[in-house]
Chains A and B, each alone.
Chain A
Amino acid sequence: MARMIRLAVAMLFSSVLVSCGGGSGSGGSTSACSEDGPYACMSGATEPLYTYQWALNAVMSYFSSFSNVSDGATDLNVETVHTQGIKGQGVNVLVLDDGLEINHIDLKANINTSMTWNFQTNSADPTPADGANAHGTNVAGIIGAVQNGIGVMGVAPRVTLGGARYISLPKGVTPNTIEAYGGASWSKNADIFNASYGSDEIFPQSYDQNSANGNTALQNFPNLRNGKGAIMVRAAGNGYQREVNAEFKFGYYCPQFSFNGTNFSIDSCSNPSYDTETLELPVVVAAAANAKGYKSSYSSAGSVVWITGLGGELTSTGKYGEAGSAATENGPLIYSTDLMGCDRGYSTFATSLDDNPQFMKGGTSINLQSNSGCNFDQMNGTSAATPTVTGVVALMLSANPSLGWRDIRDILRKTARPINMDYGNQDNRNHQVNLTLDPTLSDDISPVLVDGSASARIDYGWQINAAGNKYSNWYGFGLVDAKAAVAMAQTYSAYKSTALIVPGWSAGVSMGTVKYGQVKNLGTFMVSSDTPVDMIQVRLNASQAGADICMGSVGVFLKSPQGTVSILNEPYNLFYGQDSPNANDARNGGKITTQSNFVLGSYAFYGESSKGSWTVYAVSGTPLVRNSCQVDPKMNVDYRIYGAQ
């Protein structure tokens, strides 16, 4: 009953706002409302849990009065899009995940069961049997929970949802990736693929003709949507400070850098490009930001990040997630749909209050008041940030279905909001790192790479490249902006070619000597063609058999002809290892051989001319003795450049 009253009040409130020509928070006209139905051009204020959905409207959010965890301003800037009646109509989103509860009360109306599959049961019902597999149901709700006066609302509440039980399958069950990536009848009509997953490997992955077939399917995404091309939005990963590898049963903190007696965590332990599918152009890699408007503590950073969504902080406690401080990795997460019932999903009777708010624990007074059936919960991670971006793309395609896959990337890039502009100067990130065992920070803050130096900067913060594009390894081109993206989609006319030609590899640097503990200019390569750069990739191999290179120590920095320097790989990364490892920790320093084909990419040069001399630097830390890394190994560097069209 109480919920009914709240709903009626909320609908009245929204109606008043609509009739006044404004939406809560950001304002905006609804005079041209084209939506039909009982919620036409209403904001999510019709939903009882909307006040906790800070990513949809921060200023009106419950959390806006808790300044330690929220700035009361950071959101997707989406509400005025909703009050225009643009809610994802006509757009198909496929959630590839650990399953999807298709009969969920707040999802069912948007589910198209001809777009669902379960690779475990080989049936069309992706509902997971195991109550622990609630990830996909959460992801789906962030994208497209229905506006119906129940629970939460998705970023695109009228989108059509499909999904598959594709990851977290029992050992020995291997999904058919081509079928999942648009090859099957149930996947081929997807406009957007949401991939809140990735590969977190402890050894450098090989990227070449013989890798997984997901890369081949992704390279052929431009064939989908009748040739307009689909995109995949993919999670950057949660390994900035630590990597917890469930499969190999160890948790790992990357080296910290000591300065005046305090340790600083200034590099990203994991790198999104270690997941080779992030290297395909139709993949939009999403990082995560919190409710304070800066990078979530866990969000992996790297030069293949395209955009930032909202994923909340690491730990969330209190009544709804308002307790603690973002400075200590606390704050609200992204509210969504959970597997229904208090015995399944993330919100259960057994949920611990040590790292969850009362809302999540079945039977608490707050839970009984706001979430009595445990059908809703909150979730974090780049897994949660990714569907916020997917939802925005759905709104863009709803506003303009003619957009091709390159247009979608372009609009996201152009409308993204650079945030936290000074982070490169905070927490001593602007100090050079002494490239020693147990690395320390130096007093030197020069960004210049000096050949032979024993120290170098390993974070440049935001940079403006020679084409005038702002780029950051933390945020890509910035935080997604729904209002600006949809507005640009509505007036977009400069449609780009959807063809994707995968360039061949060119020989770049041969036999460049890596010097551990030093900055080393490995050499240069000349590019004669004058093409605006989209992504540049380098392919790394040891030059000599038996002289492997320990990539856990080797940072790879690339300097463009126009002088922009991008960090494609940081030293002291996930592969580095530790002196007294867990018995299950099989890392070997990240050795690559003459056959490894280890590939890294960068968007930092976007729009710059490819023509001229490119310089490759190895900025190498000192490896652990236990990894027996060869002294002065030689490296071959091949390259290829995708042109921006």
Chain B
Amino acid sequence: MNTNKRCLLLAAFTLISMTSVVAQTTYDLGSILTQNQIHALGAMKTFTVDNGVFRIISNSPGIGGNVINDQGRVGRCDAEIVISGIPTDQAKKSLDPYQSTITSVKVYDSLKIVSVHFSTVSDAAKARNELSNLLTGATITLPIIFALPKAR
């Protein structure tokens, strides 16, 4: 392979990479990706919560990232689970097995809610599904935001 060809391939690869990065960072919350756009994203990790299957299109460790639902709609998941409906002490104690993947825990005593951030969206989804089976009476959500409110 000559130098020019290598340069051309490198440039093409860079362009593809840049396009991919730009695509991942510029999708608007709530927009629906076309099949071509989804195909261009390549293989994606998936997770299931209740009857919903989501694909992870970007993820920054400790921050979360963007996901798409079964219709290709873009949502934001902060790799956070929210536990309510049980005493906050009980909720905190239930987190012991997950300490290695938890980045922060916040207790909102006024609302009796515990918010837990994980390293990755996948870690959060796994913990959410396991804890849902373990904590009777608790409501455990993995918030995925598809829209932000607007002034009326």
Contacts and interface: CB of A to CB of B under 8 A. Distances in A.
Interface of A: 97-98, 135, 167-169, 174, 178-179, 181-183, 188, 195-203, 205-206, 208-213, 215-217, 219-221, 223-224, 235-238, 246-248, 275, 277, 381-383, 386, 502, 541, 586, 588, 591, 593-597
B30 A210 contact: no
A199 B149 contact: yes
A223 B152 contact: no
Given A167-B148, A211-B141, A212-B143, A219 B84 contact: yes
A502 B140 CA distance: 13
A210 B151 CA distance: 24
A586 B31 contact: yes
Contacts of A383: 151-152
B144 A210 contact: yes
B147 A199 contact: yes
A617 B150 CA distance: 32
Contact of B143 (A179, A181, A210): A210
B152 A238 contact: yes
A213 B84 CA distance: 11
B73 A203 contact: yes
Nearest to B140: A209
Contact of B113 (A216, A591, A594): A216
14 contacts: A174-B148, A181-B111, A198-B152, A202-B30, A203-B71, A208-B50, A212-B146, A213-B141, A216-B113, A219-B139, A223-B111, A248-B31, A277-B149, A586-B32
A247 B27 CA distance: 12
A248 B28 CA distance: 9
A214 B28 CA distance: 20
B108 interface: yes
Given A167-B151, A174-B148, A198-B150, A209 B113 contact: no
Nearest to B70: A595
Chain A CB within 10 A, most for which of B70, B115, B139, B149: B149
Given A201-B147, A205-B147, A209-B50, 9 more contacts: A135-B151, A197-B149, A201-B30, A203-B73, A208-B50, A211-B144, A247-B30, A275-B149, A383-B151
A195 B150 CA distance: 10
Given A209-B49, A586-B32, A178 B111 contact: yes
Contact of A382 (B51, B52, B143, B152): B152
Given A198-B152, A383-B152, A212 B28 contact: no
A182 B30 contact: no
A211 B80 CA distance: 12
Most buried by A among B73, B76, B115, B143: B143
Given A201-B30, A220-B111, A211 B143 contact: yes
Contacts of A541: 51
A224 B111 CA distance: 6
Interface string B87-100: 00000000000000
B9 interface: no
Interface of B: 28, 30-32, 49-54, 69-71, 73, 76, 78, 80, 82, 84, 108, 110-113, 115, 139-152
Contacts of A97: 151
B104 to A, nearest CB: 12
A502 B71 contact: no
B137 to A, nearest CB: 10
Nearest to A588: B32
Contact of A217 (B30, B78, B111): B111
Nearest to B151: A135
B108 A183 contact: yes
A209 B151 contact: no
Contacts of B84: 216, 219-220
Contacts of B69: 206, 595
Contacts of A203: 30, 32, 71, 73
Contact of A216 (B78, B141, B149, B151): B141
B111 A197 contact: no
Contacts of A201: 30, 146-147
Given A199-B149, A594-B51, A209 B76 contact: no
A208 B143 contact: no
A212 B145 contact: yes
A210 B73 contact: no
B32 A381 contact: no
Most A-side CB within 10 Å, residue of B70, B76, B148, B151: B151
Contacts of A211: 141, 143-144, 146
A167 B82 contact: no
A216 B138 CA distance: 11
Contacts of A594: 51, 70
Contacts of B150: 167-168, 197-200, 246-247
B30 to A, nearest CB: 6
Among A169, A202, A210, A221, the one with the most B-chain Cβ atoms within 10 Å of its Cβ is A210
B71 A591 contact: yes
B118 to A, nearest CB: 15
B142 A210 contact: yes
B141 to A, nearest CB: 5
B138 to A, nearest CB: 11
Given A181-B111, A203-B30, A206-B69, A213 B143 contact: yes
Per CB-CB distance, the 8 closest pairs between chain A and chain B, nearest first, are A183-B108, A188-B110, A235-B152, A213-B143, A197-B149, A220-B111, A383-B152, A135-B151
A369 B8 CA distance: 70
A133 to B, nearest CB: 9
Given A182-B111, A183-B108, A213-B141, A206 B148 contact: no
Contacts of B28: 247
Contacts of B152: 196-198, 200, 235-238, 381-383, 386
A98 B150 CA distance: 9
A381 B71 CA distance: 33
A119 B145 CA distance: 17
Contacts of A382: 152
Contacts of A277: 149
A237 B149 CA distance: 11
B32 A223 contact: no
Nearest to B28: A247
A178 B108 contact: yes
Contacts of A237: 152
Contacts of A224: 110-111
B87 to A, nearest CB: 12
A282 to B, nearest CB: 11
Nearest to A218: B111
A126 to B, nearest CB: 14
B50 A210 contact: yes
A217 B84 CA distance: 9
Contacts of A593: 70-71
